[in-house]
């Protein structure tokens, strides 16, 4: 089928089949490669609807047809790549429509950094941004159910959705928002596609209500599977389809419009930075820190620290030359501190307050409490002083991806979650697996949530290195599941963790997930090979061979 020719009569946006473009869109931030047949950049919602109808009508005759929505391309699980039509939402779906003191109405292709700049003007915030906040779009945040550094205080993206517009498999756009029980009954009574979809989903959840509720992972963050346990609650009588679409990775429908709930920005914040040379007391330290109710509790390891120093000029792109000079000067005291011994882990404990003095008091009290653990500590009571550590934490993946030339980022064990009380026992076992496979890996994470990002650096072109992927992933995942953790807190299933859903949830719950997928997408036109449609052999056969 000549897709470009077939689509040109019904599609107003750009259609690109050049090899250069197709190769550029064959990668996201994952270790996979899928080369699309065409890249389509829809001009508006009617373009998306036309594209969905075209694929739906021609799927039977051309089974290879599908649509993979893509925006910033920063997905680390392979969710933004596909072999048929990749739909680029980042070209035209970039309107920031309205921002009020409590909400933000935007299109999915808007970069978070641009959205944040606009909300800053009203001193409000969409707080669930990931570490890739300078690169990602809000559409990716919705589809992956992002959390990030502020999730300890605020939760995840699913908690900040007021309303979505979604194009489902019939090719029509629908408004999706929380419904009261009377509204749900009315919706299900509609004799149309929408009414039948709501009715089918409600009946599925009701039929398996207790099993679905019990399947919810008992950790603070989770982006695996479909969030069915959040959709319908008998006690509150609220039916919220947004909870299912968020985190669905574009496998259930295509989001074309988002209304976020926004919160006031904290007036002041600062960090207590702890340089931890011995992690044997990490569990006690975490528990002690949490009693002080920090706003944020982050960490990064010694490899991340050294990469930051080694590739220091890289930060010029973010900060400019003047900012880089200021950063260099601010790091001098830390270099003297580090001369006393390299820490294995750098802990960042953030506190908020109405005044700088209030923040300083909280930080100092935390420092006094932690004194018995013998760590070197630094009090950075303002955002300006703490900026250097946030740059290291947020830019660590970019440094790995762009600056380590002989090895490449291989995010395949990159987003695990284990409840913090297990970390003293869990982390040494995790490090032992990393050492066993001789993996150079950085470890950063959201310490208060027990959510860690382990990014190995590997020479994937080497068959011996590629051979490590499956057994290393298997050992790490089995370790996580033995502690009743989640395999993904933020980065979602995609190609890399979709094949593990049965191990995590069991065959019965996986069957419910698959029934949900089939209900919304009976022909599998939306983002195939991801989540419940993932297959280990397919995924591993599409690991990138060249970087």
Q: Is residue 154 part of a domain?
A: yes
Whether residue 254 is found in the same domain as residue 106: yes
Q: Is residue 456 part of a domain?
A: no
Q: At 310, is the pLDDT very low, low, confident or very high (cuts 50, 70, 90)?
A: low
Please say if the pLDDT value at position 382 is more than 50: yes
How many domains does one find in the chain?
Answer: 2
The contacts of residue 487 (CB under 8 Å, 6+ apart) are: 224, 415, 416, 417, 477, 480, 481, 497, 500, 504
Q: What is the DSSP string of 152-203?
A: HHH--GGGGEEEEEEE-TTS-EEEE-EE-HHHHHHHHT-SSHHHHHHHHHHH
Please say if the pLDDT value at position 394 is more than 70: no
80-104 pLDDT tens trace: 999 999 999 999 999 999 999 999 9
Which of 2-6, 68-72, 352-356, 397-401 is least confident? 397-401
Whether residue 232 is found in the same domain as residue 249: yes
Q: Is 25 helix (H, G, I), strand (E, B) or coil?
A: coil
pTM given for the model? 0.90
Q: Is residue 360 part of a domain?
A: no
The CB-based long-range contact list for 6-10 (8 Å cut-off, 24+ gap) reads: 6/54, 7/38, 7/40, 7/51, 7/54, 10/50, 10/54
Of 46, 67, 91, the last residue of a domain is 91
Q: Is residue 439 part of a domain?
A: no
Of 249, 264, 279, the last residue of a domain is 264
Task: Answer whether 163's CB lies under 8 Å from 259's CB.
Answer: yes
Q: Is residue 136 part of a domain?
A: yes
Of 40, 65, 91, the last residue of a domain is 91
Q: Is residue 413 part of a domain?
A: no
Whether residue 118 is found in the same domain as residue 249: yes
Q: Is residue 22 part of a domain?
A: yes
Which of 64-68, 117-121, 308-312 is least confident? 308-312
Closest to 36 measured CA to CA, from 49, 23, 52: 23
Q: At 307, is the pLDDT very low, low, confident or very high (cuts 50, 70, 90)?
A: low
CA 480, 484, 485, 488 torsion-angle sign? positive
Highest mean pLDDT among 139-153, 162-176, 341-355: 162-176
Whether residue 87 is found in the same domain as residue 126: no
Q: At 236, is the pLDDT very low, low, confident or very high (cuts 50, 70, 90)?
A: very high
Cα separation, 526 vs 524, whole angstroms: 6
419, 420, 422, 428 alpha-carbon torsion, rounded to 10°: 120
Give the pLDDT of residue 116.
Answer: 97
Cα separation, 91 vs 74, whole angstroms: 15
Give the pLDDT of residue 407.
Answer: 62
Whether residue 232 is found in the same domain as residue 128: yes
State the chain's mean pLDDT as an integer.
Answer: 89
CA 16, 14, 494, 128 torsion-angle sign? positive
Whether residue 85 is found in the same domain as residue 107: no
- The distance between the two most distant Cα atoms of the chain, rounded to a whole number of Å, is 72
**Domain span at 59:** 3-91
Cα separation, 170 vs 141, whole angstroms: 25
Whether residue 163 is found in the same domain as residue 124: yes
Crossing angle for the helix pair 282-290 and 356-370, nearest 10 degrees? 150
318 against 235, higher pLDDT: 235
426-480 pLDDT tens trace: 888 998 999 999 987 777 788 888 898 888 878 888 889 889 999 999 999 999 9
Using only C-alpha atoms, the chain has a radius of gyration, in whole angstroms, of 23
Whether residue 110 is found in the same domain as residue 254: yes
Question: Which CATH number fits the domain that encloses residue 52?
Answer: 3.30.43.10
Q: At 203, is the pLDDT very low, low, confident or very high (cuts 50, 70, 90)?
A: very high
Whether residue 203 is found in the same domain as residue 219: yes
Whether residue 233 is found in the same domain as residue 251: yes
Q: At 324, is the pLDDT very low, low, confident or very high (cuts 50, 70, 90)?
A: very low
Q: Which residue has the tokens 């528990």?
A: 287
254-273 pLDDT tens trace: 999 999 999 999 889 899 98
Question: Which CATH number fits the domain that encloses residue 106?
Answer: 3.30.465.10
Whether residue 142 is found in the same domain as residue 259: yes
Q: Is residue 181 part of a domain?
A: yes
Q: At 149, is the pLDDT very low, low, confident or very high (cuts 50, 70, 90)?
A: confident
Whether residue 123 is found in the same domain as residue 237: yes
């Amino acid at each position: 089928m000549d897709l470009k020719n077939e689509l040109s009569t019904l599609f107003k946006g750009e259609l690109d089949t050049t090899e250069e473009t197709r190769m550029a869109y064959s990668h996201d931030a994952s270790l996979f490669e899928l080369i699309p047949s065409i890249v389509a950049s829809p001009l508006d919602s009617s373009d998306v609807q036309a594209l969905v109808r075209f694929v739906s009508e021609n799927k039977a005759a051309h089974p290879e047809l599908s649509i993979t929505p893509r925006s910033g391309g920063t997905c680390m699980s392979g969710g933004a790549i596909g072999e048929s039509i990749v739909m680029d939402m980042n070209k035209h779906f970039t309107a920031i429509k309205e921002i009020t003191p409590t909400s933000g109405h935007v299109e999915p292709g808007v970069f978070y950094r641009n959205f944040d700049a606009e909300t800053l003007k009203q001193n409000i915030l969409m707080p669930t941004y990931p570490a890739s906040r300078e690169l990602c779009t809000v559409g990716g945040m919705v589809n992956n159910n992002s959390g990030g550094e502020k999730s300890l205080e605020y939760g995840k993206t699913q908690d900040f959705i007021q309303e979505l517009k979604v194009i489902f498999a019939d090719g029509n756009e629908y408004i999706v928002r929380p419904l009261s029980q009377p509204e749900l009954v009315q919706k299900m009574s509609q004799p149309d596609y929408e009414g039948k979809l709501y009715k089918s989903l409600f009946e599925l959840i009701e039929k398996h209500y207790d099993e679905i509720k019990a399947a919810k992972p008992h950790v603070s963050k989770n982006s695996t599977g479909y969030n069915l346990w959040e959709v319908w609650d008998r006690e509150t009588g609220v039916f919220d389809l947004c909870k299912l679409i968020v985190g669905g990775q574009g496998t259930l429908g295509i989001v074309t419009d988002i209304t976020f709930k926004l919160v006031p920005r904290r007036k002041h914040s600062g960090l207590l930075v702890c340089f931890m040379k011995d992690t044997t007391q990490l569990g006690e330290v975490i528990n002690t820190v949490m009693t002080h109710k920090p706003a944020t509790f982050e960490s990064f390891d010694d490899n991340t620290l050294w990469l930051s120093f080694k590739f220091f000029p890289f930060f010029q792109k973010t900060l400019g030359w003047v900012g880089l000079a200021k950063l260099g000067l601010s790091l001098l005291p830390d270099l003297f501190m580090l001369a006393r011994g390299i820490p294995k882990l750098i802990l960042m404990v953030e506190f908020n307050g109405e005044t700088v003095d209030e923040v300083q008091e909280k930080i100092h009290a935390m420092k006094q409490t932690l004194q018995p653990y013998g760590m070197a500590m630094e009090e950075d009571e303002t955002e300006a002083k703490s900026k250097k550590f946030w740059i290291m934490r947020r830019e660590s993946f970019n440094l790995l991806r762009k600056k380590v030339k002989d090895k490449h980022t291989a995010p395949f064990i990159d987003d695990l979650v284990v409840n913090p009380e297990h970390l003293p026992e869990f982390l040494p076992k995790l490090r032992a697996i990393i050492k066993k496979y001789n993996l150079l890996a950085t470890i950063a994470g959201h310490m208060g949530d027990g959510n860690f990002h382990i990014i190995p650096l590997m020479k994937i072109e080497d068959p011996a290195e590629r051979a490590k992927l499956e057994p290393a992933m298997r050992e790490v995942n089995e370790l996580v599941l033995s502690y009743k953790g989640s395999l993904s807190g933020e980065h979602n299933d995609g190609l890399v963790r979709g094949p593990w859903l049965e191990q995590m949830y069991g065959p019965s719950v996986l069957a419910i997930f698959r029934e949900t997928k089939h209900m919304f997408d009976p022909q599998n036109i939306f983002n195939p090979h991801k989540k419940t449609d993932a297959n280990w052999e397919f995924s591993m056969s599409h690991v990138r061979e060249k970087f």
